[in-house]
Amino acid sequence: MYLLAKSDVPRFLSALSARFEMYGPQVHPVSGDVFFDKAADSSSIRLDAPIPANSPKFAVFPHWERILSYAYDRETKDLRIVPEDLVRPKALVGIRSCDLTGLLCFDRFFLGQEFVDEFYRAHRRRMFLVSVTCVSPFAQCFCVCTDSGPAAREGYDVNLTDLGEAYLFEAGSDAGRELAASLSLPPAGPDAGRRRDEVIDRSISRFEAAAVENKAWISRAVNRLTTGFVKNETWEYIGQQCFECGACSFVCPSCSCFNIEDVNRRDGTTERLRTWDSCSFEGYARMAGEHNPRRPVEDRRNKRFFCKLSFSQSKKYLRPGCVGCGRCVRVCPGDIGMANVVTAIRREITGK
């Protein structure tokens, strides 16, 4: 463990920016909103900013991405297929433990199943991850219930914890240790671990009581969803509330459904684009010939929560897909973010 003086943060960021494309939390100059975004200049990254409105997943799984382009001339039968040549190494700086956990879910899902997703691997290769211990949870946050925060335990190259005058710099990989050495960071004192734990305890005490109390109910929801014992009326209620806007999927750090579409350009070439998709959209499962096995909205809602919490999906992530970031709670216009779905399942069990 090392200490990174706050006055040294710019030096730390610029050392990274020499080798990586920089991504981090930035505060919008007019609205004051915080977004996780690519930073042209590393000095615009704010490690002490509140939790970004979006998850950093777009850095490994872009909103839209060209995965292939081709040109086919029907006259000459000439065909040229050009695979996309990806990608500059990136550093994601200042990601919260919830978002880091989402990224680890992605790793297991995209890299660890029967097939490897080459496009994901291209983004993820040589990536440098700097997580920060979260000291300012939002009212909607519940990572303490999903075992994914407020401090990261694995998967980072560097984890930073705010100790007041300096950050505690914990290296989680050889790349992280090399960076500490190259910056000549001073070692942290013997009480650093204790002080870090105090910061984490203080952060946990800031979570709303409701978030902490829900912990047991998330386990019950996992159980009910896995065994299929959630009543149809509950899904119907959730379906009635759903606006089918897809916002929950788009802000979710572990949602990774995508669509693939071939788009013709004016110069005669075609781009194969991979874009974000959401299981809440009516056309999601629709086949050619208008056969749609999943037309009713409650069928589709049921799918999303099954995906986030059921045991069979958790086997792919090696943990539940929900990382407790609370963003779906914040963005849902129908008020059926994860917390309220768990509450609906609780009501079904207890009648209250």
Q: Which residues bind another protein (CB under 8 A)?
A: 67-68, 70, 72, 74, 77, 79, 81, 83, 109-110, 113-115, 117-119, 228, 256-262, 264, 270, 272, 277, 279, 284-289, 293-294, 299, 303, 306-307, 310, 312-313
CB-wise, 208 or 299, nearer to another protein? 299
By beta-carbon proximity to another protein, the closer residue of 30 and 287 is: 287
Q: In the structure encoding, which two tokens stand for residue 24, read together?
A: 């981090």
Contacts of the segment 203-206: beta carbons below 8 A, 24+ positions apart: 203/133, 203/134, 203/135, 203/136, 203/137, 203/150, 203/151, 204/144, 204/150, 206/135, 206/136, 206/137
CB of 233 vs another protein, minimal distance in Å: 16
Nearer to another protein, 126 or 272 (CB): 272
Q: Supply the minimum distance, in Å, between the C-beta of residue 46 and another protein.
A: 34
d(CA 343, CA 351): 11
Our CB check for another protein shows the closer of 41 and 118 to be 118
- d(C-alpha 153, C-alpha 200), whole Å: 12
Q: How far is the CB of 56 from another protein (least distance, A)?
A: 19
Cα–Cα distance measured from residue 155 to residue 97, given in angstroms and rounded to the nearest whole number: 10
Whichever of 243 and 311 has its CB closer to another protein, that residue is 311
- Shortest spacing between CB 66 and another protein, in angstroms: 13
Element (H, E) at 259: strand 258-264
| 6, HSE (Cβ side, Cα atoms, 13 Å) | 9
**Shortest distance, position 315 Cβ to another protein, whole Å:** 9
> Nearer to another protein by C-beta: 128 or 235?
235
> What does the alpha-carbon distance between residue 204 and residue 33 come to, in Å, rounded to a whole number?
24
Which of the 8 DSSP states describes residue 205? H
Please report how close the Cβ of residue 299 comes to another protein at its closest, in angstroms: 7
In the complex, minimum distance from the CB of residue 123 to another protein, in angstroms, rounded to a whole number: 14
Nearer to another protein, 234 or 256 (CB): 256
Q: Are 351 and 233 in contact (CB under 8 A)?
A: no
Taking the complex as a whole, the smallest distance from the CB of residue 151 to another protein amounts, in Å, to 30
- Kindly state the smallest distance separating residue 306's Cβ from another protein, in Å: 8
Q: Which is nearer to another protein, 54 or 313 (CB)?
A: 313
Q: Which is nearer to another protein, 131 or 302 (CB)?
A: 302
- Burial pattern 289-299, b for ≥16 Cβ within 10 A else e, equals eeeeeeeebbe
Please count the other Cβ atoms lying within 10 Å of the Cβ belonging to residue 244: 15
For residue 251, cis peptide bond before it (omega within 30 degrees of 0): no
- Determine the Cα–Cα distance for residues 57 and 36; give it in Å rounded to an integer: 10
Q: Which residue has the tokens 């209250």?
A: 352
CA distance 208 to 324: 13
